[in-house]
Amino acid sequence: MRHDSLMAASHIASLSRSISGRILSPDEPGYDEHRRAWNTAADQRPAAIVLPDPDDVAADVSSTLVAATDADLRVAVQGTGHGATGLVDESAILISMSHLRDVDIESGRARVGAGARWSDVVGPAAGQGLAALAGSSADVGVVGYSLGGGIGWLARRYGLASNAVAGAQVVTADGGIHWVDAGHEPELFWALRGGAANFGIVTELLVDLVEVSTVQAGALVWPRDRAGDVLAAYAEWAIDLPDEVTPTLVMSAPPSGAIVMIGVCSTGSGDDLDAILAPLRELDGQLEDTVAAMSPADLGRVHRDPLQPTSSVSDARLLEQLPAGTARGLARHAPGTDAALAPLAAGRGSPLAMVELRRLGGAIARGGEGHGALNRLEGDYLLFALGIEDVTGSRASIEAGIADVLESLASFETARTVLNFVDHPVTGQTEFDPQTYRRLQALRAQMDPSGVLLAAHPI
Ligand SMILES: Cc1cc2nc3c(=O)[nH]c(=O)nc-3n(C[C@H](O)[C@H](O)[C@H](O)COP(=O)(O)OP(=O)(O)OC[C@H]3O[C@@H](n4cnc5c(N)ncnc54)[C@H](O)[C@@H]3O)c2cc1C
């Protein structure tokens, strides 16, 4: 396809005639605001942006898919852009859902608009004594997070958020509008839960909430120079926890000083968690202990994720296991420039903003009848490393820093990763087992033969 400006202008004019909903071309006010992703590293420049009418979302998405197919364009969708992988260029129309944040909670389920964030859900859910399977940041979109797997603070007890999806309104590549759930179009329902925008564009999602009105949660924090001991203690401690406890270890370097932090959330009692945390609280040098009873609506504060859009470069791997001695060695990748780490880090500053080890296992590792394509995750830990371009380092230095971290634990990797934690496009081959991937590919070929749907991670 040619993409000179004349051609583009005639495309937009004919698209405007056949697409219902507001359409923004590159020279119109609002285009720049809506093309932006939360991850600003993704410089998206679509041929046009469609903002569906809140009263007619599915019809507007449907007309967009039909018109795009006719014009030989692709269609991508964005809720918040937390998961943008930079694939959206002038060969695609971007449907922006960010204004569609309605949430309705009834009978233990949340029905959410395609642009709803967890922050729109967790408060109203808590008001009914319920919790959502939200992740570390309440700013993340419910739809992208849930369809991509969704590993949250309650994950070891209740599993992946994708398996808490109870139904969805979906517009398929041919423009068809469907309600899918366990009883309606079960194959499409299965594929969406892991395969996301490869199979359709969700205009409304129904997610199960869980009956949890209080959690025990917070963070234990040490200075960066304690990272080696804290990592080794964590690797020994985290391996034998009850499913009600979901912990993570984060090394980061906020402006207040480089730290190593163990964040934790438990659905059990405060006394039980105190007993479980005792060995960690004995480690010297602790700076902070914020673990306390709280509403699940406040869990978004525990992990200390950035609140403003950032230009992040990151990668992730699943680790089968992590011996304490090996975990200790990860300290040399700790973000920051603390001189006390000089013998380990040779005195140089790290290009990374964050290195994280999320404990998996529990319900995350258990497959289940009726689960989606992403049935379960194998491995004891998710290893995640991230830098912020032009803040913690250049893209090249961050990529080298991430490669160093991954290389140091390469012998413990499973063959898989989790696409929610990968901000560059990779095919689902790395997320799914070969049999599941073939089944997804076959369905994709059948449902979207011309490949109009452009997902963050293509199948
Ligand atoms: C600060 C931060 C914290 C995070 N914490 C966690 C965490 O704790 N656990 C976790 O699992 N993940 C976490 N993530 C990753 C996050 O879940 C993914 O980036 C996810 O893709 C974000 O979804 P979104 O809708 O907000 O983003 P978007 O970029 O808008 O969407 C990402 C992709 O999802 C698909 N998608 C979005 N909307 C639709 C739709 N309506 N229909 C079909 N497909 C759609 C598309 O392929 C889209 O490209 C975090 C990310 C960040 C940046």
Q: Which amino acid is at 344?
A: L
Query: Among 20, 22, 42, which residue's Cα sits nearest to residue 31?
Result: 22
Neighbours of 33 (CB within 10 A): 11
* Domain 5-96: which CATH number of 3.30.43.10, 3.40.50.300, 2.40.30.20, 3.90.180.10: 3.30.43.10
Distance 230 CA to ligand 1 centre (A): 30
If phi over 0 gives left and psi between -120 and 50 gives alpha, with beta otherwise, what is residue 218?
left
Rounded to whole angstroms, the Cα distance separating 234 from 141 reads 30
Of all protein residues, the one whose alpha carbon is nearest to atom 8 of ligand 1 is 135
> Ligand 1, closest atom to CA 423?
19
CA distance 306 to 363: 28
pLDDT tens for residues 26-37? 999 999 999 999
pLDDT beyond 60 at 453: yes
Tell me what the mean pLDDT of segment 203-226 comes to. Answer: 97
Question: pTM here?
Answer: 0.95
pLDDT at position 64 is 97
Give the Å distance between the CA of 456 and the centre of ligand 1: 9
CA atoms within 13 A on the CB side of 45: 6
For atom 52 of ligand 1, the residue with the nearest CA is 82
Compute the distance from residue 420 Cα to the ligand 1 centre, in Å: 6
Span 193-212, average pLDDT: 97
Give the angle 262-388-196 at the CA atoms, nearest 5°.
80
Q: What is the CATH number of domain 215-421?
A: 3.40.462.20
Closest ligand 1 atom, residue 196 Cα: 44
Q: With contact defined as beta carbons under 8 Å apart, do 352 and 387 qualify?
A: yes
Q: How far is residue 378's CA from residue 360's CA, in Å, rounded to a whole number?
A: 8
Strand order in the sheet with 201-208: 103-106, 109-113, 201-208, 165-171, 177-181
Q: Say how many Å lie between the CA of residue 71 and the centre of ligand 1.
A: 28
Pairing of strands 48-51, 92-96: parallel
The C-alpha atoms of residue 220 and residue 206 are separated, in whole angstroms, by: 35
* Cα gap 310→414, rounded to integer Å: 29
Please list every protein residue whose CB sits less than 6 Å from any atom of ligand 1: 77-84, 97, 114, 135-137, 140-141, 143-145, 147-152, 196-197, 201-202, 305, 420, 455-456
The two three-digit tokens of residue 66, written as one number: 């039909």
pLDDT in tens, 92-114: 999 999 999 999 999 999 999 99
pLDDT digits (tens, 9 = 90+) for 305-338: 988 999 999 999 999 999 999 999 999 999 987 5
Domain ranges of the chain: 5-96, 103-211+432-447, 215-421
Q: Output the residue whose Cα is nearest ligand 1's atom 32.
A: 83
In ligand 1, the atom with minimum distance to the C-alpha of 306 is 1
CA of 124 to the centre of ligand 1 (A): 21
- CATH class of domain segment(s) 103-211+432-447: alpha beta
Residue range 399-413, pLDDT digits in tens: 999 999 999 999 999
Q: At what angle do helices 186-195 and 434-447 cross, to 10 degrees?
A: 110
d(CA 256, CA 237): 27
Q: Is residue 412 within 8 Å of residue 321, measured between CB atoms?
A: yes
pLDDT at 344: 42
